[in-house]
Structure 1
């Protein structure tokens, strides 16, 4: 809320499994969406090798509904195992 009041136009949250404060971005983004009106909310790039696509789509969809269509979803297939 304070970031929006200061003029920030976007806020993004990353996924970090096994860290309880960062495990899923969707509850935090949904809460931010419920408290703000115009700031764009989104995820950093989510590596789909470690996600269940159906569950993630459900979570992202719910967060987007709560945020009034302001969720920006970043996903990737992941980086190659050998570079």
Structure 2
């Protein structure tokens, strides 16, 4: 099997966030009412990006909000079954 991806360290810190900032600005310039889904970001970035952007535009991170939503749905379903 052939290796996939670049064999180099991932970018980190402010360099990483500046790339995300640039992308977000481009999306919102082109589509101001866009909903942005952050899909499968590393967990160490999930909460940072959510906190950084959630007041600026409509966005969600599936690793954070969807997981919480599924857990809440399970709890509500259990409560409903218990009466």
TM-score by length of 2: 0.37
Which is bigger in relative contact order (C-alpha 8 A, separation at least 6)? 1
TM-score by length of 1: 0.37
Structure with the higher helix share, 1 or 2: 2
Q: Which structure's residues are more often strand, by fraction?
A: 1
Structure having the higher Rg: 2
